[in-house]
Amino acid sequence: MLLRNKARRISLLRYWTTRYAITLALGLLVLAMLSVVWIRHTTLENRLDVSEFLAAELAGRIAGSQQDEEGSTESAYLDQDMLDARDELMKMESPPSIFITDAGGTILSAGDQDLYKESSFPSVVLEKKSDVQTFSGLSNGAIVYLIKKPIIVDDVTFGWVVMLQQEDEFADLNDEYRLLALLIIGSGLLGWAAIYILSRRLARPISAAAAAAKEIRNGNYGVSLIPSKAKEQEVYDLVTSFNDMAVRLEQLESIRAELLAGVTHELKTPVTSISGLLQAVKDDVVTGEEAKEFITISLKETERMQTMINDLLEFNTFAANALPVSTAPHELNDLTRGIVHEWNLARNPDDIPVHFQPYERDLIVLTDPDRFRQIMMNLLNNAAHAIENSGQMTVTVKNEDACALIDVSDTGIGIPESEKTLIFERFYRGENKKYKVRGLGLGLPFSQLLARAMDGDLELKETSPLGTTFTLKTKKQD
């Protein structure tokens, strides 16, 4: 199935150009058909109108001649100059046959007797009200257009000017069709060329991005696309975002390898320590009180390792959406004050106390108190670790329009500029904490996940060598 689907795939350039060509061809074909109908109709109407006008003009001239030369039959013949002008105007290869008859329909003069060889026209044809009609009185049974105009002198009809033209010859539109075909073909070629050029221009950066993605898939993160030639905003965004992604992946891969080694070391160290201490007790290297002290140290190391493993399991469970969060209304000042008091009670006398600054009035927020406590304890632990000798820790509750804020500040050494974008990465530990504080680097990422699960957020507000402030946002009750 995979091979079959792969065989059906075609390049973007071919996909767009072929489908556009088919769509364009169908569209132009429909347009051509409609244009043929329209051209045939309008041209036929125009030629009929011109023929009718010229027949009336010729009848008028003959009538004028009849008035000047009463009783003369010579004046009833055709004006050749006028006929030539008519043929030029109508642009027909085979001009109509023109007949001049008397009042009864007897033909007095004919421009072309090959089309109609009778000596007169039926009176029923001449007496019809319509000046333009179809006529089937030919010997070969062909259908022709008949245009008639009366020759009137002093309100008396002396005769008729009759024009005959075969239907297919009257609707002869070869020049118009050739022009239409030229326009349709030219439009089709121009449209296909335009979409080919545009598709090719669009396909190039996409193809380059696909090739670069394959390189990244194979572990080569050093690829880079050139965005300078991309004038389209979307293509430029694609190329620059891809380059940023490649750089980011290279950084994360390097961090992943380093952090994996760090996590392995963190878990291996207590195991090695416990193994050595217990082996010493087992082999009677130490006895009595010293052996008890070795066992106590082993138990502490076991507890520390168990804490790290529990953190890892809890983080993975929450990341998989298997750890529920239940929010309910709580007063933020009281909730935060209780956590700060609990923290201060659990510290040694030499530890730095936390100063609490509540908001001036009650703030009701929607939060899970257990998860909220986890976040605050983690932030307070990090703040305490950042202070090397003496300093200050402060928790401040603030209010904004959309949410309530809890700032956790310290006067520690701050976070280096190069680590600001990495502190919320899983398993990341900064250089200042890597060898000073033992852990897996899951505290801040886990706290941020908890905050977002409660429709809030956790952000690094500011940091400098003078201290750091983290801001926990919580959703207020409507």
Q: State the CATH number of the domain containing residue 109.
A: 3.30.450.220
- 265 and 396 in a single domain? The answer is no
Domain boundary among 176, 204, 233: 176
Dihedral sign, Cα of residue 343, residue 349, residue 352, residue 357: positive
Residue in 428, 427, 473, 429 with CA at minimum distance from that of residue 448: 473
- 94 and 242 in a single domain? The answer is no
Residue 332 and residue 403: Cα distance in Å, rounded? 11
Residues of the chain with pLDDT under 50: 1-4, 6, 71-77, 435
Domain boundary among 142, 176, 210: 176
- 274 and 353 in a single domain? The answer is no
Domain count within the chain: 3
Instruction: Name the amino acid, one letter, at 377.
Output: M
163, β-bridge pairs: 98, 147
- 461 and 407 in a single domain? The answer is yes
Listed in sequence order, the residues at least 6 apart from 177 whose beta carbon sits closer than 8 Å to its beta carbon are 36, 39
Q: Which residues of 43-80 are buried (b: 16+ CB within 10 A; e: fewer)?
A: beeebbeebbebbbbbbebbbebbeeeeeeeebbebee
**Residue 158, both tokens:** 């002396």
- 336 and 318 in a single domain? The answer is no
- 97 and 158 in a single domain? The answer is yes
- 357 and 471 in a single domain? The answer is yes
| Phi, psi for 44 (deg, rounded to 5) | -60, -45
Instruction: Name the amino acid, one letter, at 310.
Output: N
| pTM for this model (two decimals) | 0.45
pLDDT at 278: 82
Q: Domain range spanning residue 293?
A: 221-323
CATH number, domain with residue 241: 1.10.287.130
- 118 and 147 in a single domain? The answer is yes
241 to each of 76, 79, 233, 256, how far by Cα in Å?
A: 88, 81, 12, 21
Rounded CA Rg of the chain? 49
Residue in 262, 314, 336 with CA at minimum distance from that of residue 445: 314
Q: In a 3-state reduction of DSSP, which class is residue 59?
A: helix
Q: In a 3-state reduction of DSSP, which class is residue 65?
A: helix
Does residue 194 form part of some domain?
no
Asked if 451 contacts 341 with a C-beta cutoff of 8 angstroms, the reply is no
Does residue 368 form part of some domain?
yes
Residue 213 and residue 225: Cα distance in Å, rounded? 11
Residue 401 and residue 252: Cα distance in Å, rounded? 36
106-141 residue pLDDT tens = 888 876 666 777 788 888 888 888 888 887 766 566
Does residue 207 form part of some domain?
no
**Residue 287, both tokens:** 């006895």
Residue 252 and residue 246: Cα distance in Å, rounded? 10
- 120 and 139 in a single domain? The answer is yes
Q: Which residues of 403-435 are buried (b: 16+ CB within 10 A; e: fewer)?
A: bbbbbbbbbbbbbeeebeebbbbbbbbbebbbe
Listed in sequence order, the residues at least 6 apart from 360 whose beta carbon sits closer than 8 Å to its beta carbon are none
Helix axes 12-68, 80-90, angle to 10 degrees: 160
- 443 and 340 in a single domain? The answer is yes
Residue in 98, 77, 76 with CA at minimum distance from that of residue 87: 98
Does residue 201 form part of some domain?
no
Domain boundary among 176, 211, 246: 176
Tokens 């072929």, residue? 18
Does residue 106 form part of some domain?
yes
Q: What is the DSSP letter of 120?
A: B
Asked if 225 contacts 208 with a C-beta cutoff of 8 angstroms, the reply is yes
Does residue 190 form part of some domain?
no
| Phi, psi for 369 (deg, rounded to 5) | -60, -35
- 403 and 426 in a single domain? The answer is yes
- 331 and 385 in a single domain? The answer is yes
Does residue 260 form part of some domain?
yes
CATH number, domain with residue 446: 3.30.565.10
**Residue 217, both tokens:** 């898939």
Does residue 204 form part of some domain?
no
At 235, which helix (H) or strand (E)? helix 233-282
